[in-house]
Amino acid sequence: MKVPLAQALLRITQEPARILGLNAGHLSEGHTADVCIFDAEHYGKVTAAALKSQGKNTPFLGIELPGKVRYTLVQGQVVYEAGTG
Q: Is residue 62 left, alpha or beta, with left meaning phi > 0 and alpha meaning psi from -120 to 50?
A: left
85 has pLDDT over 60: no
As a whole number, mean pLDDT of residues 35-61 equals 89
For 55-78, what is the mean pLDDT? Answer: 91
CB 35 within 8 A of CB 43: no
Q: pLDDT tens digits, residue range 16-47? A: 999 999 888 888 888 888 899 989 899 989 99
Phi, psi of 78 (to 5 degrees): -70, 120
Q: Is the whole model's pTM more than 0.75, yes or no? A: no
Q: What residue type is assigned to position 85 of the chain?
A: G
